[in-house]
Structure 1
């Protein structure tokens, strides 16, 4: 009986191990199915994200290009305004320097010389860029009138 008892015990042991292995196999299958489902969900989420990202990129690229164009235009406008301010300053030289030139160099020599320098630059600008400008005649005529009053000679 010992052999049948041993066999019986051995059989129960093997059946227990088999049952345990079947449970492990079942757990592994369930885990694999869950893993597959999670993988599919993740792929779906990533595909959706990629699609949205491409749509965003396609809508942002034109905005970025427009922004670059607007920045370039703004820089051009600023440069143009700066140039215009510089040119306009020549048109105001006669009026801005009139009082100091009339007073002459007495007591304010440096200021007087600065005004003379401004007038000289204005004359050069108008001679180079717009020789028929009435402003050139105004600057030169005013300067000659001022010099005539003070008795000072100037060479243009």
Structure 2
């Protein structure tokens, strides 16, 4: 019985030693992983912020191209493509509102408003006006 008890004590001490060593290594691993985990979280947050910023920039940049994108359709007028023409007018209106709210002195606002309004005005006056023959 004594031998078995000694053997059991020895095994217990050995097991405690192994478990203590395991716990120590686990603590070291945890201490080395926690900073990596925090850095990873920070990098993920930064990546999300960059993605959101790029999305916002894409949205803003789209307003800068409205005049070029709608130019052809506005020049051609609504004949046969009224829905497309009205969609272009709506795009232009949104761009005008954006520039008025965010940068009222921008040259882009003047381009969008000036070019589009003059083309629309020319288009409608040309189509609805009667040509008057010069007098004798």
TM-score, with length taken from structure 1:
0.78
Whether 1:143 aligns to 2:116 is yes
Cα distance in 2 for partners of 1:54, 1:110 equals 67
Deviation digits for residues 105-143 of structure 1, max 9, x if unmatched?
111111111000000000000011001110001001111
Q: Secondary structure at the match of 2:54?
A: helix
2:74 to 91, 95, 101: 101
Whether 1:69 aligns to 2:42 is yes
* Displacement after TM superposition at 1:146 (Å): 1.2
Cα distance in 2 for partners of 1:124, 1:87 equals 12
Cα distance in 2 for partners of 1:34, 1:146 equals 100
TM-score, with length taken from structure 2:
0.89
Greater RCO, CA 8 A, separation 6+:
2
Listed as ranges, the gaps of 5+ residues in structure 1 are 1-27
Structure 2 partner of 1:7: none
* Displacement after TM superposition at 1:144 (Å): 1.7
2:100 to 127, 130, 137: 127
Structure 2 partner of 1:31: 4
Structure 1 partner of 2:132: none
* Displacement after TM superposition at 1:47 (Å): 0.4
Q: Which has the larger radius of gyration?
A: 1
Cα distance in 1 for partners of 2:30, 2:90 equals 57
* Displacement after TM superposition at 1:39 (Å): 0.3
Q: Secondary structure at the match of 2:105?
A: coil
* Displacement after TM superposition at 1:151 (Å): 1.7
* Displacement after TM superposition at 1:149 (Å): 2.6
Listed as ranges, the gaps of 5+ residues in structure 2 are 126-136
